[in-house]
Structure 1
Amino acid sequence: MRRKLHAYLPLLWLLAIPALNIFYVRLNHGGGQVNSLVTDIDRQIPFVPIFIIPYIFWYVFITGMLLLHFFTNKKGFAQTLVTLCTGLVACYMIYLQFQTTVPRPQIGSSGVLIQLVEWVYRHDQPFNCFPSIHVFTSYLMIKSVQEQEAFSRKFKAAVYFSSWLIICSTFFVKQHVLLDAAGAIALAEILHFAGRTLFNGKVLTLHKRSPSE
């Protein structure tokens, strides 16, 4: 029994994500200079309430993908989690030095979708936008499955579709703009490359392997 429980101990490292989220909350305000990266193209993107569904689904998607990596490939789990947490720290450092905001639309209608949008707006101030954490983590999931032979082509396609749907949702619910996404994708590419280089040739895990493993 102890050996079985010991095998699940690395899952405790997932607690690093909500722990780091404390800094997101502390930085999510408009004090000091706040910049805008809104372009003319962003102004042409309509507000589409139904996209709040994939936007909120992000929470389930990222958690589920990390758990799947854990049960499929411990090395992949460690690399993805370390890269994700490093990216969060990088985002927070950027928010501290270069705070941006995205104007939100005036919502005059009602309904379940609008209520969900308003719930998100109430719990997430319109700051901490560049780079987008939604986009960074979603794109990172794409990179994390690309070279994994354990995943089928259909599953990878589902991950790609889900990730890009979430990324697009950030525009249509007016939480982010195009440059927020571009910065997040660039950050994910850089950190994924660095993480792959670090882990390549060495099975770096988040726990010591027991003699029975």
Structure 2
Amino acid sequence: MKFNKNKDKKFIHILSQYRHGLVLVYFFIYMIWFTYLERTVTTEFTPVYSRLDDYIPFLEIFIIPYFIWFAYIFVTVAYFFFTSKQDFYKCCAFLFIGMTICLIIYTIWPNGHYLRVDIDNLGRSNIFTRILSRLYTIDTSTNVFPSIHVFNSIGAMIAIRKSERLRPITWLQISTFILTVLICMSTVFLKQHSILDVFGGILLSIIMYIFVYVPAWGKEAKKADHELSKI
């Protein structure tokens, strides 16, 4: 069997160039942990509720930004994966450490809410209510404080804002800010979360910002970016 040395070297070079992607293995750990909590924390939990929740109307159209969240997070992480190791490491550190903190909170302090509307007796039916009805059956109303939806949205916005390449793009900065606000709003307008979950997600994002986005952090990654630019 003959081996093409050039192809082998190229393959090894690609593996070396993108080995930082190994941190994404965390996603599988997260999904196993979160799925376990979703299946075990069903009835025995501490309700999360604020009187402010009663003043927030149910608006099914917010299912749009709620689902855009998945693409928002994926595209943000993927972009930094291919363009900047420094930004990628910081973004992943922010998201993954914060998500782990959320899972620890859910595990130690099982929580949930009773805010969901009865869609069958809502008095109207449209594509948004049907999608939401399906979401309700898949996603439980537990493991909500802090809101990972809110936390990750803010994390993606911060990563985009702190990127030297993306910071000068005004329309992108404005768009990501608006999208982040809409996603945070969607969690309460769809009755997926209490307003307290949103506050919890914001507070956690502030803590993680202080921890991750400090001037001295990521020097090794920045050096790797510089070396990568020479290739």
Whichever residue aligns with residue 156 of structure 2, its letter is: M
Paired position in structure 1 for 2:203 = 186
Q: Distance in 1 between matches of 2:117 and 2:175?
A: 31
Larger displacement relative to structure 2 (183-192 or 10-19): 10-19
Q: Does 1:166 align with 2:177?
A: no
Paired position in structure 1 for 2:109 = 98
Change (3 A) 1:15 1:60: farther
| Native 8 Å contact 1:35 1:101 kept in 2 | yes
Unaligned runs of 5+ in 2: 1-9
Change (3 A) 1:140 1:116: same
Q: Distance in 2 between matches of 1:41 and 1:34?
A: 21
Q: Distance in 2 between matches of 1:110 and 1:122?
A: 17
The structure having more radius of gyration, on CA atoms, is 2
Q: How many residues align?
A: 212
Whichever residue aligns with residue 176 of structure 1, its letter is: H
| Native 8 Å contact 2:60 2:190 kept in 1 | yes
Q: Report matched runs for 1:70-109 at 5 Å.
A: 70-103=81-114, 104-108=116-120, 109=124
Q: Distance in 1 between matches of 2:134 and 2:218?
A: 46
Unaligned runs of 5+ in 1: none
Larger displacement relative to structure 2 (190-199 or 126-135): 190-199
Q: Which has the higher helix share?
A: 2
Q: Distance in 2 between matches of 1:5 and 1:23?
A: 28
Q: Distance in 2 between matches of 1:199 and 1:13?
A: 21
Please report the TM-score for the alignment, with normalisation by the length of structure 1: 0.89
In percent, how many aligned pairs have the same letter? 28
Paired position in structure 1 for 2:163 = 148
Q: CA deviation at 1:46?
A: 1.2
Q: Considering only aligned residues, what root-mean-square deviation do their CA atoms show, in Å? A: 2.4
Runs of 4+ in 1 over 6 A off after TM superposition: 207-210
| Native 8 Å contact 1:102 1:174 kept in 2 | no
